[in-house]
Amino acid sequence: MTDEDLTHDAFLGGLLHLWQPRKGYRAGVDPVLLAATIPAVSGQRVLELGCGVGAAILCLGARVQGLSLTGIEREEIYATLAARNGEGALEVVQADIAALPLTLRQRQFDHVLANPPYWLREASIAAGDPMREAALGEETPLALWVETAAKRLAPKGLLHIIHRAERLPDILAALPHDMGGIEVLPIAARQGRAAERVIVRARKSGRADFRLHAPLILHRGDVHVDGDQYTQAIRDALRTGAALGF
């Protein structure tokens, strides 16, 4: 793949630029929102499962300086682009999360994040582009994503995962017994709409009560109109890299 097959796209209002395939899966809003909700601090170790071109973990690294960043990516093209985008600040391991190398299985992290493929293909149509399908169609079971993330956490470390709202029961059921302090942030397109996405956070050896937060609203107004309708908090997260606390 040559540079003619790629685009060099601005994220966080130009704080970050990412090389992405012109065709195939391209990072959107979800990984940026996921990164904005992670309460990392300088010096911590962060792992992303299925990092793609590095959108989520590099957005986090742009907001919080001094993090140790590691991404796992199965597809060679995306792993190569993630390493290029990271410019030496992101360690990229090309591997399947179902068969992590021993060197990774011996390490622990303060934060593990994931934006797994959203679609069960027995109930949806596969994407025509193989790289896009690898990112969108669930091949590795969602439960394995959750279990793998939990295993890589250090004591008191935090798991962060974004997914479709209807898969929330599956995520909660997959959390190992030593994961507690579970928090769920629903994400709705507009006020009064049902949540379409959720961000789930859980702590290794956490003991806090379960918390269901008020929905994060993406857009102002009741109906779509042309132009930027993002709410102020979402605009700040997308355009300036601001945190989204919950």
When pLDDT is averaged across residues 55-81 and rounded to a whole number, the result is 97
pLDDT of residue 108 exceeding 80: yes
Predicted pLDDT of residue 52: 97
The pLDDT of residue 226: 66
| Residue (of 142, 138, 132, 149) closest to 203 by Cα position | 149
Q: 49 phi and psi, to 5 degrees? A: -90, 130
pLDDT, greater one: 24 or 213: 213
- Length of the chain equals 246
How high is the pLDDT of residue 137?
62
Q: Tell me: pLDDT of 133 over 60.
A: no
At 215 the pLDDT is 97
Q: Which residues of 156-187 are buried (b: 16+ CB within 10 A; e: fewer)?
A: ebbbbbbbbbebbeebeebbeeebebbbbbbb
Over residues 192-234, the pLDDT tens digits come to: 999 999 999 999 999 999 999 999 999 998 776 666 799 999 9
The pLDDT tens digits of the residues spanning 172-195 come to: 999 999 999 999 999 999 999 999
pLDDT at residue 135 in the model: 52
pLDDT more than 70, % of the chain = 91
What value does the mean pLDDT of the chain take? Answer: 92
pLDDT at residue 104, rounded to an integer? 96
